[in-house]
Chain A
């Protein structure tokens, strides 16, 4: 649906000062055409967006991400920056609408890839902040929704985003660039904290494959000697890749099957895992088998540490049953070679698990370590409450 409107946009780009009705990109305010050349930039932009969307659709087939979450986050942010730079908008409200629209399309392409939505919300928050700064009002007053303000002023945000500021675009792009640099440094920031948490001669357990945890452990291995047990995480068996990668760096690694997690847990000192998403209540949406691992760790009173960069924090709650779980083809579980029984049997292959926050000891993110009970605060710093529902 957006495509048709883009075509109109490119046509209109050559006409100056035409006010059009019922176009979401244009409303009552006069439209200033920027100095960018006409149709080619727009089609180029839409091409990139379409390419990104199809990439998302293809990449999330559940057989392990073809790209890691960090790359997805970076690409999303880069794309949003491009949209900010190249799309037609005059006020912050327009920009937010554009971004929200594109964001909804991107989320619909791959609902389980939450980093896309998170980045969209981050950018929206950036726009709000920049707008507020340009307007000159104090940031604190706008950010904190005190009870007094809610009662007295009513919805204060609605009418505010119509003003046009010339420097807004440049400011927003600058802050998005800062966000991009932050994204690039997240893994390093997390790995730098490794030595604070791992002592020598430890036995650490992990599950599946997480690039963050891999970097974390490799960084600690430069100075300390410890032993890692990797649970292979059937049916995708990504633990194998993790184990080979760790052992190549000289870390003593053992691969165990998922069934042996409880059996060996009594000799494990720490459990360090990565996750796909950190939910708003401090819980996790992680790869399947993580809940069992967390329960076993709780039974043996072993600390469970989650290495998650801030871009994985999502304002979703786990109660939305229909959107929480994602399934892939059951032939991973019961292959077609099994023959006659296939038609009489239901086979399930869920990809994710929910881990409640009571089982988690610590979150390590690029801005330091937090308890799960603190996650709601971090969320209010990163996202504006109105953006929780895109």
Chain B
């Protein structure tokens, strides 16, 4: 079987190249052939004399093994990587390993895989030889289990914080090429402390490089990607909801190809979309959790389920998720938070957090008398949006920039902050400037309350704002005052760099209280890992 595959190879290869250049999606057979050829190359390179005996058996396996072989990797990845972002990466890594022999870590993984498969073949061979020995089967299943148990310890780093590693970049380029998604180039001089992060320009969105009409990426996803990269959809809740709506559209338009199972194929269809969105703008923690949930739901669909039924079930799940985790959670948090707002309060908020705005509007409707100070910062100036929403409701507001916060804090009674994610070591990851406000509030002895839904709780840990962050377009810092733009030609000056950070982390000793949902009400910052553990046990 394998020999016939080899002889047909060159013709098929031309077809595949043609299909690629036309931008059409590779058919299932073409993809399978590519995979097979790569596996053949790998095998011919690695297994020489020792495993010559097993090669004959393996040659029978390729056709039957791709479907089962793709099974253990998805299972192992769900156990392996807690955050959803690396989920696309590890599955594609084994397949793309072969063409890059110089990758040292890849080779070791490939070797591990090969050894594992060799062990499996050996076990299967011995099992066939000794029929009726169920003990062997137990042994094989047990042998499958230990490698999977060890894997949670080996954590794969997400690609977007390894930009300074050329191997990782090469791997990413290969993966994107396979998924037919253009690679986005970094822009501008990067400050040396942040050379491990991407820095993109807003003027060069990824969608310019995508051919129109794109048959690889669903148009709803293309539109979403553009909205992300241009900053039209911002804020973690808004981004998650937009993502889920786009995926709902994808599911509605999805039809299972013949000889495929919906549970597996749909997940594979979503992977390029996720890569594309990641390229447009790095995924947020809330989006990551949402994607994990969707993938889990999809893979849990039983195979005998009919397509229409499965699709409606999935759409229902997504609706439920949005309802429970975002809308109802906001209501629950608002109920708890209103207890903390008393008459005559002066409340300080920073930037535009949908949750905090919701709380303040609810409190105002319940006739609490308070006034709000909105603190804003360049270059995003999101506070103006919050200002508009509050003023529309009729709340009396004051507006200052973040450099004036020490002038305004002596008259403030409480600080309400929103969060992008709550990390497992108690740190709060939020818009850049939040930690500063918490610091100054602490110096003036003003209580700081953070409001965050549980779906944003994250298993990552972080102690500073450098290792994992997002760099925004540096040209945003340029401003023209009185007709003079000092930084206009910053690119030409070699020793000048502009830094536009998006997130920062606030240490837990600056935060007095976290208000969250799921019946927890108010918890200290350090209880986040407890909540995560309880949530995982429940699910």
Contact = CB atoms under 8 A, between A and B. Distances in A.
Contacts of A354: 406
A243 interface: yes
B243 interface: no
Contact of A257 (B435, B465, B477): B477
A353 B406 contact: yes
A350 B496 contact: no
B495 A263 contact: no
Contacts of B490: 244, 255
A247 B496 contact: yes
A296 B401 contact: no
A295 B439 contact: yes
Contact of B377 (A247, A259, A349): A259
Interface stretch (A210-218, A274-282, A338-346): A338-346
Interface string B366-388: 00000000000111000010011
Interface stretch (A93-101, A286-294, A373-381): A286-294
Counting chain A residues whose Cβ lies within 8 A of the other chain, the interface size class is: 35 or more
Contacts of A263: 432, 435-436, 465, 501, 504-505
B439 A257 contact: no
Interface in A196-211: none
B28 interface: no
Contacts of A233: 403
B433 interface: yes
Contacts of B464: 266
Given A260-B432, A263-B501, A341-B387, A236 B481 contact: yes
Contact of B496 (A237, A243, A334, A348): A243
B496 A253 contact: yes
Interface in B480-539: 481-482, 486-487, 490, 493, 495-501, 504-505
Interface in B397-422: 397-408
A247 B378 contact: no
A291 B440 contact: yes
B441 to A, nearest CB: 10
B497 A296 contact: no
B526 to A, nearest CB: 19
A194 to B, nearest CB: 18
Contacts of B479: 237, 240
B476 to A, nearest CB: 9
Contacts of B504: 260, 262-263
Nearest to A228: B495
Contacts of A243: 486-487, 496
A347 interface: yes
A244 B493 contact: yes
A254 B397 CA distance: 34
B191 interface: yes
Nearest to B375: A259
Interface in B306-361: none
Nearest to A231: B403
A333 B399 CA distance: 8
A116 interface: no
A267 interface: yes
Contact of A232 (B388, B439, B477): B477
B145 interface: no
Interface in B458-486: 464-466, 477, 479, 481-482, 486
B439 A241 contact: no
A288 B403 contact: yes
Most chain B beta-carbon contacts within 10 A, residue among A234, A259, A289, A344 = A259
B407 A348 contact: yes
Nearest to A252: B495
Interface string B420-435: 0000000000011101
Contact of A346 (B379, B397, B499): B397
A264 interface: yes
B496 A234 contact: no
Interface in A344-363: 344-350, 353-354
A234 B495 contact: no
B6 interface: no
B501 A256 contact: yes
B396 to A, nearest CB: 8
Contacts of B150: none
B493 to A, nearest CB: 5
A235 interface: yes
Nearest to B482: A63
Main secondary structure of the interface of B (DSSP, over half): mixed
Given A240-B486, A260-B501, A295-B440, A255 B477 contact: yes
Given A256-B499, A262-B436, A263-B432, A345 B399 contact: yes
B274 to A, nearest CB: 28
A258 B501 contact: no
Interface string B164-195: 00000000000000000000000000010100
A112 to B, nearest CB: 15
B413 to A, nearest CB: 17
Given A250-B495, A255-B497, A345 B401 contact: no
B391 interface: yes
Nearest to A266: B464
Contacts of A364: none
Contacts of B481: 236-237
A244 B497 CA distance: 10
A256 B431 CA distance: 15
B443 interface: yes
B229 to A, nearest CB: 20
Most chain B beta-carbon contacts within 10 A, residue among A237, A266, A354 = A237
A370 interface: no
A289 to B, nearest CB: 3
Contacts of B397: 344-346
B401 A234 contact: yes
A299 interface: yes
Contacts of B466: 266-267
Contact of B398 (A240, A257, A262, A348): A348
B122 to A, nearest CB: 53
Nearest to A344: B391
A262 B379 contact: no
A248 B464 CA distance: 31
A142 to B, nearest CB: 42
A244 B487 contact: yes
Given A262-B436, A353-B403, 11 more contacts: A232-B477, A240-B479, A241-B486, A257-B501, A288-B403, A289-B403, A292-B403, A292-B405, A338-B384, A347-B399, A349-B404
20 contacts: A232-B477, A234-B403, A247-B493, A252-B497, A254-B499, A257-B433, A258-B377, A258-B378, A258-B403, A259-B378, A259-B402, A260-B501, A266-B464, A288-B403, A292-B406, A292-B439, A295-B443, A344-B396, A345-B398, A354-B406
Interface of A: 63, 232-237, 240-241, 243-244, 247-248, 250-264, 266-267, 288-289, 291-292, 295-296, 299, 325, 333-334, 338, 341, 344-350, 353-354
Interface of B: 191, 193, 377-379, 384, 387-388, 391, 396-408, 431-433, 435-436, 439-440, 443, 464-466, 477, 479, 481-482, 486-487, 490, 493, 495-501, 504-505
